[in-house]
Amino acid sequence: SEVLTVEHLRKIYNEGKPQAKTAIDDVSFTVSKGEFVCIVGPSGAGKTTLLRCISGLAKASSGTLAFEGTPLTAVPDQLGLVFQDYGRSLYPWFTNAKNVGLPLAARGMPKAQRAERVSEVLAKVGLGHVEKQYPWELSGGMQQRVAIARALSYKPDLLLMDEPFASVDAQTRFDLEDLILTVRRELGITVVLVTHDIDEAIYLSDRIVVLSGSPSRVREVVDVPLGRE
């Protein structure tokens, strides 16, 4: 079954104004349940814009977006988001455990149940020992693990990641890539990950969607089936 459907998506920033800017011209692709899809393209190809439209953070100018068969109108509750800028996505005045539990609190999960789920998900990303510490006490790679744990806390049907490993050193990146692959395998989660790094896309994904064209205008989408388990 299809988790995500993107049909003839177009995004023009400042539409109708002199400074109008087409970020996405015509993008179509689908993501099936359990798939790991990477979206690659050069800087300015519209990758971030695409993820912002999918996650409801930006409004598409035209085209169709559907999540599990339902047209997207608001930010879907079953969406996990991880951005490059993990440093700013965690609240420094909350412990790591509290940061991870925020989406659960927002969904009204009782405290005891929340604590249990937070411990479980932090252990899954290898950070069971830093529950009571604060994000700023951790390395960049560990902070990104906390951000991933937070996105996984409410068992999202779709995990959306925008250049999640771009701000960490090479070894940490390899560790995080393997973590994501393990988590994905164990949870059977559907993942869409944006990267400008084709090697990363080949290593991680089942399918690659290539955004190409001049910087501000996406001309085509190419699906590259990798035939990998």
Binding ligand ADP (rule: CB under 6 A), the pick from 35, 40, 49, 104 is: 49
Which residue lies nearer to ligand ADP by CB, 49 or 55? 49
Say how many Å lie between the first and final Cα of the chain, rounded: 18
Kindly state the smallest distance separating residue 12's Cβ from ligand ADP, in Å: 8
56 touches ligand ADP (CB under 6 A): no
Binding ligand ADP (rule: CB under 6 A), the pick from 7, 8, 21, 116 is: 21
Kindly state the smallest distance separating residue 193's Cβ from ligand ADP, in Å: 13
Among the listed ranges 26-34, 45-53, 74-82, 110-118, the one in contact with ligand ADP (CB under 6 A) is 45-53
Kindly state the smallest distance separating residue 88's Cβ from ligand ADP, in Å: 16
Kindly state the smallest distance separating residue 159's Cβ from ligand ADP, in Å: 18
**CA-based angle 145:148:150, to the nearest 5?**
110
Among the listed ranges 47-55, 68-76, 96-104, 135-143, the one in contact with ligand ADP (CB under 6 A) is 47-55
43 touches ligand ADP (CB under 6 A): yes
Which residue lies nearer to ligand ADP by CB, 21 or 132? 21
- Cβ(18)–Cβ(47) below 8 Å: no
Which residue lies nearer to ligand ADP by CB, 133 or 216? 216
Which residue lies nearer to ligand ADP by CB, 47 or 145? 47
What distance separates the 2 farthest-apart alpha carbons in the chain?
A: 54
Spatial neighbors of 209 by CB under 8 A, at least 6 apart, are 29, 37, 38, 39, 40, 221, 222, 223
45 touches ligand ADP (CB under 6 A): yes
Which residues, 166 to 225, sit near ligand ADP by CB under 6 A?
215-216
Kindly state the smallest distance separating residue 19's Cβ from ligand ADP, in Å: 7
The DSSP annotation for 99-161 comes to HHHHHHHHTT--HHHHHHHHHHHHHHTT-GGGTTS-GGGS-HHHHHHHHHHHHHTT--SEEEE
- Please give the Cα distance from 167 to 139 (Å, whole number): 11
* Amino acid at residue number 152: L
List the 36-40 sheet strands across, edge first: 79-83, 158-162, 190-195, 36-40, 207-212, 220-225
What residues line the site for ligand ADP (CB under 6 A)? 13-14, 21, 23, 41, 43-49, 58, 215-216
